[in-house]
């Protein structure tokens, strides 16, 4: 059977279930048979119990939900900042060769620096304040927003720009009423990548420059050799990441509701 | 006064490192409130001529003047109706028509009234909130014309505006344009490769030849149209049956055919 043939629902559940069960079984056996020492890897059921426990019982000052809330808030700040700067800047670069030439070298030189590499500066500038994680998230989320806005706006059919110019639209209206709506599908696709990178960078930032949050909780768990707490944090990160992606996927569907004439 | 003047206009393009002359020395005056159609084979530079009046392209040599002023860029004093309509797909019919008005200093009530008048004139009532993709080609073209007319431009530039329409719709739109143009004449430069369309609509027909694009001949239609009373007929097929129409049409056809033969030799 090739990849292109679709599985029917029964087969789908069967193979997905089989994969999960064998993974969890392998994990469980390797821990319970003592192949891996307990302090290195907790058993799956212990992680689930710990996860449930952390929801109600504070660890390192907060419950799991409070850690998540604190992480999510930082994520939102960094992400919104990346969108608020990246979208207008991308549109401006598409509209003006000068702006493009001005911004590109600077942008290209920072975009390959991993967001986590900003952590030393985040610590230096903001200590454990909210600014540090926000800076790191911003560095992760900003490049995809800018690139996708720019590309989407560059691909706008020239006839719309010409029509708008003939109708007397100035640069501001070209940006807001032609380039921006034309780029929306590309921008929203960029937001998904950007949110993913931002959310991943956040945990990295919290490992070092925070006193709350999922990343902070994990680092405290590691310090006290409570691997089930570390693993619970990983699960929380995965669930929230998935949740953010689902939200943005809905936004993507809404955004492409107009068709080319 | 909004006359269009081409003064020894040349336009060349670079193609594969070689310079090639698309428009090679055009001298033409479209008088105020005159309807001039340019016909010619594809690649004769007729669209380039229109785009230079629009300010979307610049002449390599010579200059284009509208109302005595040299064209330096696009602007709402000259409205363009594009072949591919170029309606903004993310804006409703109403928003498309209002687009040009938004840049003008005018109170909101006046803008509303102008938009409503054009919607009625072009038979678009009930479609104000529709988006372009929900409309037929003919309806889209009406919106495009309304969007241009609402600014009350003195100069109207039309680039094969009916080229993308089916035959029946095209006829209806041609009849409507004649009604509009005779009732409320503007300076019109109309680009087409359809000879009948040019003869039916225009006061004068300019025949262009290709490589380089040059004016081959200019045919006066208006004196004959008025003498023979074409405008008494409301249907295009009745006008097209008149012997005066047939004669003009074949005259222009021959001019186009001759140069095609010339190109083959």
Residue B81 lies in a domain: no
Task: Count up the domains in chain B and report the number.
Answer: 2
Residue B77 lies in a domain: no
Q: DSSP string of A60-113?
A: TTB-HHHHHHHHHHHHHHHHHHHHHHHHHHHHHHHH-HHHHHHHHHHHHHHHTS
| B20 sits in which H/E element | strand B18-30
- Set of chain A residues whose Cβ sits within 8 Å of the Cβ of B100: 167-168
Residue B80 lies in a domain: no
Q: How far is A170 from chain B (nearest CA, A)?
A: 8
Sheet of B204-209: strands edge to edge?
A: B78-81, B155-159, B187-192, B35-39, B204-209, B214-220
Residue B76 lies in a domain: no
**One domain, residues B12 and B112:** no
* Range(s) of the domain holding residue B210: 4-71+155-264
Average pLDDT, chain B: 85
- Looking at B98, B121, B152, which one is the last position of a domain? B152
Is A88 at the interface with chain B, CB within 8 A? Answer: no
B window 176-205, beta carbon within 8 A of A: none
Residue B78 lies in a domain: no
Taking only the tens place, the pLDDT of each residue in A205-260 is: 887 777 888 888 998 888 888 888 889 999 999 999 999 999 988 887 777 665 54
Taking only the tens place, the pLDDT of each residue in B8-65 is: 888 888 877 788 888 888 888 889 888 999 998 877 888 888 999 999 999 888 888 8
**One domain, residues B42 and B137:** no
**One domain, residues B241 and B166:** yes
**One domain, residues B162 and B141:** no
**One domain, residues B63 and B129:** no
Whether B151 and A167 lie within 8 Å, measured CB to CB: yes
End-to-end CA distance of chain A: 40
Q: Which three-class secondary structure state does DSSP give residue A226?
A: coil
Taking only the tens place, the pLDDT of each residue in B54-64 is: 999 998 888 88
**One domain, residues B168 and B44:** yes
Q: Give dist(CA A230, CA A236) in Å, integer.
A: 10
Strands (E), chain A: none
CATH number of the domain that B252 lies in? Answer: 3.40.50.300
Residue B243 lies in a domain: yes
- Looking at B117, B136, B152, which one is the last position of a domain? B152
Is A254 at the interface with chain B, CB within 8 A? Answer: no
Question: Can you name the residues that pair with B220 across neighbouring β-strands?
Answer: B204
Whether omega for the bond prior to residue B126 falls within 30 degrees of 0, making it cis, is no
Is B88 at the interface with chain A, CB within 8 A? Answer: yes
Task: Quote the Cα angle for A96-A98-A100, to 5°.
Answer: 70
Residue of B203, B208, B228 whose CA lies nearest to B32: B203
- Looking at B100, B134, B152, which one is the last position of a domain? B152
Residue B195 lies in a domain: yes
From A180, which residue of chain B is nearest by alpha-carbon distance? B90
Residue B79 lies in a domain: no
- Model pTM? 0.81
**One domain, residues B181 and B237:** yes
Q: How far is A255 from chain B (nearest CA, A)?
A: 10
Query: Is the pLDDT assigned to residue A166 strictly greater than 60?
Result: yes
**One domain, residues B237 and B169:** yes
The whole-number pLDDT of residue A261 equals 41
């Amino acid at each position: 059977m090739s990849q292109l043939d679709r599985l029917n629902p029964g087969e789908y559940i069967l193979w997905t279930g089989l994969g999960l069960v064998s993974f969890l079984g392998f994990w469980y056996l390797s821990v319970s048979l003592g192949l891996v020492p307990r302090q290195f890897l907790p058993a799956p059921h212990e992680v689930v119990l710990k996860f449930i426990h952390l929801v109600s019982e504070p660890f390192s000052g907060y419950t799991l939900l409070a850690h998540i809330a604190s992480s999510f808030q930082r994520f939102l700040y960094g992400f919104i900042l990346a969108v608020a700067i990246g979208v207008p800047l991308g549109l401006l670069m598409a509209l003006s060769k000068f702006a493009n030439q001005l911004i590109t070298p600077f942008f290209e030189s920072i975009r390959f620096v991993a967001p986590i590499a900003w952590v030393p500066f985040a610590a230096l500038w903001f200590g454990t304040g909210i600014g540090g994680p926000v800076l790191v998230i911003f560095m992760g989320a900003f490049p995809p927003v800018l690139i996708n806005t720019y590309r989407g706006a560059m691909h706008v059919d020239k006839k719309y720009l010409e029509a708008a110019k003939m109708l007397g639209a100035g640069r501001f209206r070209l940006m807001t009423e032609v380039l921006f709506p034309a780029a929306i599908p590309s921008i929203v696709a960029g937001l998904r990548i950007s949110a993913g990178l931002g959310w991943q960078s956040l945990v990295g930032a919290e490992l070092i420059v925070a006193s709350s949050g999922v990343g902070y909780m994990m680092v405290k768990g590691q310090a006290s050799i409570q691997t089930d707490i570390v693993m619970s944090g990983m699960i929380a990160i995965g669930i929230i990441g998935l949740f953010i992606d689902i939200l943005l996927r809905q936004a993507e569907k809404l955004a492409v509701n107009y068709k080319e004439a | 006064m909004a006359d269009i003047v081409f003064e020894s206009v040349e336009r060349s393009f670079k193609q594969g490192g070689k310079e090639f002359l698309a428009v090679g020395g055009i001298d033409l005056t479209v008088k105020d409130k005159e309807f001039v159609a340019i016909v010619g084979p594809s690649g004769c530079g007729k669209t380039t001529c229109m785009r230079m009046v629009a300010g979307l392209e610049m002449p390599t040599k010579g200059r284009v003047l509208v109302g005595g002023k040299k064209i330096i860029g696009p602007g709402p004093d000259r409205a363009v109706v594009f072949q591919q309509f170029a309606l903004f797909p993310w804006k409703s019919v109403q928003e498309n028509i209002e687009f040009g008005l938004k840049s003008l200093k005018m109170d909101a009530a006046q803008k509303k009234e102008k938009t409503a008048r054009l919607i009625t004139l072009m038979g678009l009532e009930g479609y104000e909130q529709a988006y372009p993709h929900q409309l037929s080609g003919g309806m889209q073209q009406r919106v495009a014309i309304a969007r241009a007319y609402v600014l009350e431009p003195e100069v109207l530039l039309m680039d094969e505006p009916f080229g993308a329409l089916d035959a029946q719709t095209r006829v209806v739109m041609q009849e409507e344009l004649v009604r509009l143009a005779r009732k409320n004449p503007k300076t019109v430069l109309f680009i087409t490769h359809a000879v009948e369309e040019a003869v039916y609509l225009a006061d004068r027909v300019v025949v262009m030849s290709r490589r380089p694009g040059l004016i081959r001949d200019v045919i006066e239609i208006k004196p004959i149209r008025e003498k023979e009373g074409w405008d008494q007929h409301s249907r295009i097929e009745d006008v097209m049956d008149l012997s005066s129409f047939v004669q003009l049409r074949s005259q222009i056809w021959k001019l186009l055919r001759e140069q095609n033969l010339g190109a083959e030799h």
